[in-house]
Amino acid sequence: MATRRITIAIDGHSSAGKSTMAKALAKELNYVYIDTGAMYRAATLYAIKERLILNSQVDMESIGENLDRMFLSFKFNPATERPDMHLDGVNVEKEIRTLEVAKNVSFIAKIPEVRKKLVALQKRMAEGSGVVMDGRDIGTVVLPDAELKFFMTADPEVRAWRRLKEIKDKERDTTFDEVLENVLHRDKLDSERAVAPLKQAHDAVIIDNSNLSMEEQFEFMLKIALKRMEI
């Protein structure tokens, strides 16, 4: 059976496992992986470092003026065999996974100037085919013509436990209640923002992985991807 290279868009709620599955699919299919969530996290880290966001209050007047000075790029990490996020030439893969960034990323992500800059960059990165991209508005805004779209979700408490496991080695004082509150707050902000809100594309394959193992999710998604790749 002949196959073609396609574009795969993966959307969904925070900590639903989008990046994990996107990375696994990209590796299996030998596709390029683009983590748009990391890009918004890096933009948030930039705002924090530049003191453009303090106590969840964004300096809206200055954020647009400073965007031209922010340079984001992905660089392949041979140790992990995955691309790492770089901000102004510095690897910030660990810094962008902290709870401080997670608490503020939705505020930055809803700013029109930020979304315009990052969406344009994401579209350029995805030119051609053989790409797996995950985020909040990939199937609806960034890659509306993608040949395959997934929408991933899970119960908030399940996602909170996953998120806590991810960050516990970096922030030992973080509690489950704090993470759950952050997950619920991000869901609300992502779904209600005026610009490119989180929503399921009409032609997306829905995956509720609350009770699925990573292996089960991967096999299910890979099977669908291989079917879509058939000519």
In a domain, 83, yes or no: yes
Res 47: pLDDT: 95
Res 192: pLDDT: 85
- CA of 101: how far to CAs of 37, 91, 123, 188, in Å? 11, 15, 24, 17
Res 119: pLDDT: 95
| Residue 47 domain boundaries | 7-225
Res 194: pLDDT: 76
In a domain, 231, yes or no: no
In a domain, 230, yes or no: no
In a domain, 111, yes or no: yes
In a domain, 1, yes or no: no
In a domain, 2, yes or no: no
Res 195: pLDDT: 75
Res 172: pLDDT: 64
Res 170: pLDDT: 62
Res 187: pLDDT: 87
Domain count, the chain: 1
Mean pLDDT, each 10-residue run in order, the chain (231 residues): 91 92 95 93 95 86 88 91 92 93 90 93 92 94 97 95 79 83 88 83 96 96 97 81
Could you give the strand order of the β-sheet that contains 7-12, starting from the edge strand earlier in sequence?
32-35, 131-135, 7-12, 148-153, 205-208
CATH of the domain at 45: 3.40.50.300
In a domain, 176, yes or no: yes
**Cβ-contact 86, 73 below 8 angstroms:** yes
In a domain, 210, yes or no: yes
Angle at 79 between CA 73 and CA 75, to 5 degrees: 10
